[in-house]
Amino acid sequence: MTAIIDYGVGNLFSLCCSFGAVGEEAEITSDPETIRRADRLILPGVGAFEDAARKLRESGMDRLVKEEVSRGKPLMGICLGMQLLFEKSYEYGEHPGLGLLKGEIRPIAERIPEGLKIPQMGWNALRITGSSPILKYTKDGDYVYFVHSYSAVNCGDSLLAVTEYGTDLTACVGKGNVYGCQFHPEKSGETGLKILRAFCETEAQA
Amino acid sequence: MITKRIIPCLDVKDGRVVKGVNFQKLGDVASPVELARYYSECGADELVFYDITASAEGRTLFTEILTETARTVFIPLTVGGGINTTEDFDRVLKCGADKVSVNSGAIRDPSLVGKAARLYGDQCVVLSVDVKRVNGAFRIFAKGGRENTGMEAIEWIRRCVGEGAGEVVVNSMDTDGVKQGFDLELLEKVCGAVQVPVIASGGAGKIEDFITLFKTLPGVDAGLAASIFHFGEVRIADLKAEMSRNGIPARI
């Protein structure tokens, strides 16, 4: 069973349905017992970093997620949930994240040429830069759906795939049992479902 | 490189697709769920469900259909029609909509766009406008194009984007249904006025109309159409192949 962590951010209905489409049982939950019992965790999120990070802290989910990850349980962050995995974000100030991955979140406006719209909204191609179990069914040039104004930088060896939007932006990351997608796999058609399927095939690491 | 989006629009009334659908491959051509699934398989980048129901029963049926679609179709879904309050946003978002499009609701209550953007984020709020030339000026029409509000179109669009609309669907009443191409003059003005994604609607009759749209106006992000897709006059796969041949980035 995959637990989709509900900490009061965003709408989780489609995300939950997408697991059904790959034959995985998924539960939207904020119950610590269910989260401990789950085989895998999904950290979702839309909206502002500071608000989401605060809700994670206030609900105690930050500690619980870190505990479960340290026990080897696979975790995938999606969109803002992926950004929360990093050390900090510079979205309206400077805010700490979970620190599960090295790197930080910066506005894409700093890096892309003028004239490109912000947010990046729409389908863009992946260029795979690292190998990972979650990309085992994905190939270079596969399209996924993005909606974001910020992106991860200085990710080091956790970088798995980038997308070109005037410059290379971090699209997918992973290190150990922690994974993240800047795009929405649950809205990326077959390509997205393949990534979710691959994630559901990952097992807890000893 | 980010691709130009192709978006079929489904008008739904009392749980059925209206405006006619003519597909041989589909069993129930008026089922929004089946049609949505079909379009997703054909390569549609996004879908718009437009609720043109007036009754409460029809509305309930619409949300049921939306839920069923979100269960099986995994591309972005925008919902419009009858969105007048933030409760309406909530209702359709809970059923699996990713974006919500407001038109007359924003005209009636100009604070709606801002309120919804603060609650659900800019990316969730789509401003949809029906625009028509009146004595040489672009005017905003309300109530499905029946009522001239007298408002200047570009000014209204700019104001709503300033309030937080994250995307604009521009439907030209002058070119809609004529099938002679999109309203390039109007769209150019909109692209020059706002920085958010612009979706062109109204006037597409053939593949070349999309090619002309994207080649002439690089600021346009997507093309939306209904009947030409429903009646098979334009097949999405053919359209995308032709876009690609013309150097227009398309998801194939």
- The percent of residues above 70 in pLDDT, for chain A, comes to 100
Nearest C-alpha neighbor of A14 from the set B47, B140, B27? B47
- Judged by a CB distance cut-off of 8 A, whether residue B70 touches chain A is yes
Residue B28: pLDDT band with limits 50, 70, 90 = low
Asked whether the beta carbons of B224 and B200 are under 8 A apart, the reply is yes
pLDDT tens digit sequence for B208-243: 999 999 999 999 999 999 989 988 899 999 999 999
Determine the Cα–Cα distance for residues A206 and A184; give it in Å rounded to an integer: 29
Please tell me the predicted confidence (pLDDT) of residue A9: 76
Please tell me the predicted confidence (pLDDT) of residue B23: 54
Residue B19: pLDDT band with limits 50, 70, 90 = low
Residue A115: pLDDT band with limits 50, 70, 90 = confident
- Name A186's bridge partners: none
Task: Establish if A182 belongs to a structural domain.
Answer: yes
Is pTM beyond 0.90 here? yes
Please tell me the predicted confidence (pLDDT) of residue B24: 54
State whether residue B38 is helix, strand or coil: helix
Residue B120: pLDDT band with limits 50, 70, 90 = confident
Q: How many helices and strands, by DSSP H and E, does chain B display?
A: 10, 11
Is A200 catalytic? The answer is: no
Is B130 catalytic? The answer is: yes
Helix ranges (DSSP H) in B11-94 = 32-42, 56-72, 86-94
Is B11 catalytic? The answer is: yes
Residues in contact with B245: Cβ distance below 8 Å, sequence separation at least 6, in sequence order: none
pLDDT tens digit sequence for A150-202: 999 999 999 999 999 999 999 999 999 999 999 999 999 999 999 999 999 99
Determine the residue of chain A that is closest to B90 in CA distance.
A11
Chain B residues with CB-CB distance to A164 below 8 A: 1
Instruction: Report the greatest alpha carbon distance in chain B.
Output: 47
Determine the Cα–Cα distance for residues B16 and B52; give it in Å rounded to an integer: 10
> Is the confidence at residue B20, as pLDDT, over 60?
no
Contact A124 B1 (CB under 8 A): yes
Of A11, A122, A193, the CB nearest to B93: A11
Please tell me the predicted confidence (pLDDT) of residue B121: 86
Determine the Cα–Cα distance for residues A45 and B10; give it in Å rounded to an integer: 29
Joined tokens for residue A166: 């005037």
In the chain, the amino acid numbered B8 is: P
Task: Provide mean pLDDT across the span B143-165.
Answer: 95
Residue B153: pLDDT band with limits 50, 70, 90 = very high
Domain count, chain A: 1
Please tell me the predicted confidence (pLDDT) of residue A201: 96
Task: Establish if A150 belongs to a structural domain.
Answer: yes
ipTM over 0.90: yes
Residue B68: pLDDT band with limits 50, 70, 90 = very high
State whether residue B217 is helix, strand or coil: coil
Determine the Cα–Cα distance for residues B15 and B52; give it in Å rounded to an integer: 10
Q: Which residue has the tokens 């090619």?
A: B211
> Is the confidence at residue B38, as pLDDT, over 60?
yes
Chain B residues with CB-CB distance to A189 below 8 A: 40, 74-75
Task: Establish if A133 belongs to a structural domain.
Answer: yes
Domain B5-245 has CATH 3.20.20.70: yes
Distance from CA of A132 to the nearest CA of B (A): 23
Residues in contact with B208: Cβ distance below 8 Å, sequence separation at least 6, in sequence order: none
Determine the Cα–Cα distance for residues B195 and A112; give it in Å rounded to an integer: 14
Determine the Cα–Cα distance for residues A11 and B89; give it in Å rounded to an integer: 12
Other CB atoms within 10 A of residue A54 CB: 14
Please tell me the predicted confidence (pLDDT) of residue B22: 54
- The percent of residues above 90 in pLDDT, for chain B, comes to 79
pLDDT tens digit sequence for A51-81: 999 999 999 999 999 999 999 999 999 999 9
Residue B29: pLDDT band with limits 50, 70, 90 = low
Determine the Cα–Cα distance for residues A194 and A78; give it in Å rounded to an integer: 15
Domain parsing of chain B, residue ranges: 5-245
> DSSP letter string over A11-77?
--HHHHHHHHHTT--EEEE--HHHHHH-SEEEE---S-HHHHHHHHHHTTHHHHHHHHHHTT--EEE
Please tell me the predicted confidence (pLDDT) of residue A149: 92
Task: Establish if A90 belongs to a structural domain.
Answer: yes
Of A118, A122, A189, the CB nearest to B40: A189
Residues in contact with B117: Cβ distance below 8 Å, sequence separation at least 6, in sequence order: B124, B125, B163, B164, B165, B166
Task: Establish if A83 belongs to a structural domain.
Answer: yes
Please tell me the predicted confidence (pLDDT) of residue B236: 97
pLDDT tens digit sequence for A118-135: 999 999 999 999 999 999
3-state secondary structure B7-24: EEEEEEECCEECCCCCCC
Asked whether the beta carbons of A122 and B2 are under 8 A apart, the reply is yes
Q: What is the CATH number of the domain that holds A35?
A: 3.40.50.880
Cis ω for the linkage preceding A119 (within 30 of 0): yes
End-to-end CA distance of chain B: 13
> Is the confidence at residue B53, as pLDDT, over 90?
no
Distance from CA of A70 to the nearest CA of B (A): 32
Average pLDDT of chain A to the nearest whole number? 95
Asked whether the beta carbons of A134 and A179 are under 8 A apart, the reply is yes
Work out whether the CA dihedral B195, B197, B202, B208 comes out positive or negative.
positive
- The pair phi, psi for residue A99, each rounded to 5°, is 70, 25
Residue B4 DSSP label: P
Domain hosting residue A6, numbered range: 2-200
pLDDT tens digit sequence for A37-46: 999 999 998 8
> Is the confidence at residue A204, as pLDDT, over 90?
no
Task: Establish if A205 belongs to a structural domain.
Answer: no
- Helix or strand run (H / E) with residue B168: strand B167-172
